[in-house]
């Protein structure tokens, strides 16, 4: 899922998302949309779909990760989380019930339960308390969700989030707890937050042995092309990450043959396509030399081209992964791809 935190994927038009990139679903953020443009405007518009014009599915995360990121200006309790806006310093309080009401108003097709996201370096005692809080909040989220109705004439799905930091027993406990809600899908949160990649893969294996195989499994906030292929091999179905667009805006491009830094002087006279294996229109129409020129000149078009390229590459990569799963040769294909995806060109 391309990340559209504020209701927009930065630098990318809706037409490009659908026609050129082929995005079937994008992600928005509850915390940010609650603060700006605000619930009153979103409700008057008829929900986020009507507000931003994206007529395909959307998912909203619950704001739990953003609350985690606000260390120093937030206060957690069993009741909820008090925090100050990063925009104007105003004070707000999120409870699980309020988050469900906010996500009903935003109107995404898939909404996430409110959780606490502990750092990957948290000790066991903190992780234990954090997980108890997340499970308590999940029960309250599910109750509020079941007591309310969608606002815009279509159903919404609530996904629980499996937490537990880097502790296998906590992860297994959380996965078992989450499956008790018989949800349409399940998310794996609290990874790629400071722990080594190999530990992340171990945690995925622990929970995917428990989560239902006939429901989608969503790994939140991950990650690099290598991370995605490794996670698919362990049973993950859905991903989101700001990396394709954020790194693209900073001149890093992902390709099937490796990673390019478009500010490097070596590309100044390279008139070959950005990615010769791609059929995306930006790769067909713009050379590496031109994109290098745009970044060196600080032209806004550079960030737009790079964002579209990276998103199209990510979508193409997971489509190719699906084809190899269906052909029953995913493992050999992944083994060939991993070193290629990791190298710097």
Q: What is the pLDDT along the chain (345 residues), one digit of tens a residue?
A: 999 999 999 999 999 999 999 999 999 999 999 999 999 999 999 999 999 999 999 999 998 777 667 667 788 899 999 998 989 999 999 999 999 999 999 999 999 999 998 888 899 999 999 999 999 999 999 999 999 999 999 999 999 999 999 999 999 999 999 999 999 999 999 998 889 999 999 999 999 999 999 999 999 999 999 999 999 999 999 999 999 999 999 999 999 999 999 999 999 999 999 998 888 888 889 999 999 999 999 999 999 999 999 999 999 999 999 999 999 999 999 999 999 999 999
CB distance 23 to 315 below 8 Å: yes
Q: How many CB atoms lie within 10 A of CB 145?
A: 23
CB distance 265 to 320 below 8 Å: no
Q: What is the dihedral of CA 290, 293, 295, 297, to 10 degrees?
A: -140
Residue among 328, 60, 96 nearest 218 (CA): 60
CB distance 60 to 105 below 8 Å: no
Please tell me which residue in 115, 240, 275, 283 is annotated as part of the active site: 240
- Give the N- to C-terminal CA distance of the chain in Å, as an integer: 26
Please tell me which residue in 61, 115, 275, 283 is annotated as part of the active site: 61
Q: What is the pTM of this model?
A: 0.96
- Has 240 been annotated as catalytic? yes
* Contacts for 171 with CB less than 8 Å, ≥ 6 apart: 162, 163, 164, 165, 203, 206, 207
- Has 184 been annotated as catalytic? no
Distances (CA, A) of 273 to 24, 214, 276, 309: 26, 41, 5, 11
């Amino acid at each position: 899922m391309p990340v559209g935190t504020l209701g927009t994927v930065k630098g990318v038009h809706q037409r490009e998302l659908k026609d050129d990139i082929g995005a079937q679903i994008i992600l928005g953020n509850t915390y940010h949309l609650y603060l700006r443009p605000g619930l009153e405007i979103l409700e008057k518009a008829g929900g986020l779909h009507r507000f931003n014009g994206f007529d395909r599915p959307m998912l909203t995360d619950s704001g739990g990760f953003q609350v985690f990121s606000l260390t120093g200006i937030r206060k957690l309790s069993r009741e909820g989380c008090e925090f100050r806006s990063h925009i104007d310093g105003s004070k707000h309080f999120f409870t699980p019930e309020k988050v469900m009401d906010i996500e009903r108003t935003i109107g995404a097709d898939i909404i996430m339960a409110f959780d606490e996201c502990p750092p990957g370096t948290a000790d066991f005692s903190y992780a234990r308390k954090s997980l108890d809080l997340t499970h308590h909040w999940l029960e309250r989220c599910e109750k509020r969700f079941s007591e309310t109705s969608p606002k815009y004439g279509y159903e919404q799905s609530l996904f629980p989030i499996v937490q537990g930091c880097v502790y296998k027993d906590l992860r297994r406990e959380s996965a078992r707890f989450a499956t008790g809600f018989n949800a349409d899908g399940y998310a794996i949160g609290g990874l790629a937050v400071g722990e080594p990649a190999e530990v992340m893969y171990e945690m995925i294996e622990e929970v995917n042995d428990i989560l239902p195989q006939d429901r989608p499994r969503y790994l939140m906030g991950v990650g690099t092309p290598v991370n995605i292929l490794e996670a698919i091999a362990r049973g993950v179905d859905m991903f989101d990450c700001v990396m394709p667009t954020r790194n693209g805006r900073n001149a890093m491009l992902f390709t099937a043959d490796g990673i390019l830094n478009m500010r490097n002087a070596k590309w100044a006279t390279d008139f070959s396509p950005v990615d010769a294996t791609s059929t995306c229109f930006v790769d067909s129409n713009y050379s590496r030399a031109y994109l290098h020129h745009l970044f060196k000149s600080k032209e806004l078009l550079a960030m737009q081209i790079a964002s579209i390229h990276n998103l199209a590459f990510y979508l193409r990569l997971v489509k190719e992964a699906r084809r190899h799963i269906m052909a029953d040769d995913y493992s050999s294909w992944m083994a060939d791809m991993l070193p290629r995806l990791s190298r710097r060109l």
